[in-house]
Amino acid sequence: MTSRKLDHFLESNINDLKENGLYNEIDTVEGANGPEITIKGETLINLSSNNYLGLATHHELKDAAKQAVDSHGAGAGAVRTINGTLDLHIELEKRIAAFKGTEAAIAYQSGFNCNMAAISAVMDKNDAILSDSLNHASIIDGCRLSKAKIIRFEHSDMADLRAKAKEATESGTYNKVMVITDGVFSMDGDIAKLPEIVEIAEEFDLITYVDDAHGSGVTGDGAGTVKHFGLQDKVDFQMGTLSKAIGVIGGYVAGKQSLIDWLKVRSRPFLFSTAVSPADAAASTRAIEMLMESTELNEKLWENGNYLKEGLKKLGFDIGDSETPITPCIIGDEKQAQTFSKRLYEEGVYAKAIVFPTVPRRTGRVRNMPTAAHTKEMLDRAIGIYEKIGKELKLI
């Protein structure tokens, strides 16, 4: 017989979530995740993916993946340190380093597991981590795993960061202190104040870690937020994912050769989990090559982002202070944000409601992620639907 305690735990907690409207029913996308998607037979304009450059369905990536399956098979076969390091993984890491302007790079199986791996390989219980209050869950979990003291600073508040960096370093309590931040914050689309962060880091000798999951492929002509500010030689960890703008799966850290050497011998998901498949590695490599060859997709992304932003702003929506193509429509009331998202869905736009605890209370929103693959016609159609539902719900 299986555990009755577990049954009780699951039943009571799931019911609790359902009663409070917090149980997430997950939609199944029938077919590829492109600028339009099909759910339950209906075609919708997709404004919810992180496929910023449309590369997830790009023919060049698909060709690279197919060739890699033919030449290298379906799986990597082993953990990389045993005998799962394929020439395709090495090629990918070389490309990432060149793309990011660093000496070396290490690839992981996902962005989430990269943060779990890299932070805890360097920080321990005798250290402290200064973490932006809006950092992603994977950063938070990576910090927790390290057992370092986590000191949150107010979102992008440089005075708060400076005061806490001073206190932490002058206390003499910690061996090392790290400052860690998202490069682009995915709920609002704002960019971290990296020049000030680097200045504070230099003043107090902090280790700098930038998670550029939403900046890579987007800011800095595609090379990311660190490049956007020209700080490639001042940031210790340039972390990123291969799952968003790159369109595939995986995560990475780009940095100094000595850092990468250490991560290859000490970061546990690298040592104890099989690497991404040959198809993933080859498709990611091709995507990065494409970004290094041309900024065309990046320019299209920004053009589409600006077009959608202008359209929604003109209608009277509050689109916040986004500095990137990420376009929130801030509604405030959580229930209304959810109703809005539901009505958009019924009319043909797939844009998810984001509410507390992912964003602060009373800042419920519908978040739009335009991509380079959207056509003007799709964006116009989406704006038209926003107008219709916005008026219907008296939001504009």
Active site residues: 186, 214, 244
Task: Kindly provide the residue ranges of all beta strands, DSSP E only, lying in the chain, ordered along the sequence.
Answer: 36-39, 42-46, 104-108, 128-132, 149-153, 177-182, 207-211, 237-241, 251-255, 327-332, 349-350, 353-354, 364-368
Closest CA to 61 of 279, 330, 252, 383: 279
User: Among the candidate windows 57-65, 98-106, 110-118, 271-279, which touches ligand PLP by CB under 6 A?
Assistant: 110-118
- Cα gap 159→164, rounded to integer Å: 9
Q: What is the DSSP string of 19-62?
A: HTT---PPPPP-S--SSEEEETTEEEEE-----TTSGGG-HHHH
The CA distances from residue 245 to 56, 105, 125, 194, 258, in Å, are 8, 18, 34, 21, 28
Closest CA to 107 of 126, 120, 94, 121: 94
Q: At what angle do helices 87-100 and 278-293 cross, to 10 degrees?
A: 30
If binding is defined by CB under 6 A, does position 241 make contact with ligand PLP? yes
Kindly write out the interface string for residues 32-71 of this chain, putting x where it contacts ligand PLP by CB under 6 A and - elsewhere.
----------------------------------------
Among 35, 142, 217, 251, binds ligand PLP (CB under 6 A): 251
If binding is defined by CB under 6 A, does position 186 make contact with ligand PLP? yes
> What is the smallest separation between the CB atom of 90 and ligand PLP, expressed in angstroms?
20
- Cα gap 366→312, rounded to integer Å: 12
Kindly write out the interface string for residues 279-318 of this chain, putting x where it contacts ligand PLP by CB under 6 A and - elsewhere.
----------------------------------------
Farthest CA pair distance, the chain: 61
> What is the smallest separation between the CB atom of 43 and ligand PLP, expressed in angstroms?
25
Cβ closest to ligand PLP, residue 112 vs residue 204: 112
Kindly write out the interface string for residues 112-151 of this chain, putting x where it contacts ligand PLP by CB under 6 A and - elsewhere.
x--x--------------------x-x-------------
> What is the smallest separation between the CB atom of 86 and ligand PLP, expressed in angstroms?
20
- Cα gap 27→373, rounded to integer Å: 22
> What is the smallest separation between the CB atom of 186 and ligand PLP, expressed in angstroms?
5
User: Among the candidate windows 124-132, 197-205, 211-219, 325-333, which touches ligand PLP by CB under 6 A?
Assistant: 211-219
> What is the smallest separation between the CB atom of 238 and ligand PLP, expressed in angstroms?
13
> What is the smallest separation between the CB atom of 170 and ligand PLP, expressed in angstroms?
30
Residues 6 or more apart in contact with residue 226 via CB below 8 angstroms: 100, 183, 194, 210, 212, 215, 220, 232, 235, 238
If binding is defined by CB under 6 A, does position 243 make contact with ligand PLP? yes
Q: How many residues bind ligand PLP (CB under 6 A)?
A: 14
Closest CA to 339 of 281, 389, 388, 396: 389
User: Among the candidate windows 208-216, 323-331, 347-355, 373-381, which touches ligand PLP by CB under 6 A?
Assistant: 208-216
Cβ closest to ligand PLP, residue 34 vs residue 111: 111
If binding is defined by CB under 6 A, does position 325 make contact with ligand PLP? no
- Cα gap 386→375, rounded to integer Å: 17
> What is the smallest separation between the CB atom of 369 and ligand PLP, expressed in angstroms?
11
Tokens representing residue 55 in the block: 């590369």
The residue sitting closest to ligand PLP, measured at its beta carbon, is 111
Among 111, 255, 269, 328, binds ligand PLP (CB under 6 A): 111
Task: Kindly provide the residue ranges of all beta strands, DSSP E only, lying in 212-352, ordered along the sequence.
Answer: 237-241, 251-255, 327-332, 349-350
Cβ closest to ligand PLP, residue 239 vs residue 319: 239
Cβ closest to ligand PLP, residue 241 vs residue 267: 241
> What is the smallest separation between the CB atom of 264 and ligand PLP, expressed in angstroms?
19
- Cα gap 240→93, rounded to integer Å: 12
Among 46, 48, 51, 110, binds ligand PLP (CB under 6 A): 110
Residues paired with 330 in a beta bridge: 365
If binding is defined by CB under 6 A, does position 222 make contact with ligand PLP? no
Tokens representing residue 47 in the block: 């404004």
Contact residues: ligand PLP, CB under 6 A: 110-112, 115, 136, 138, 182, 186, 211, 213-214, 241, 243, 251
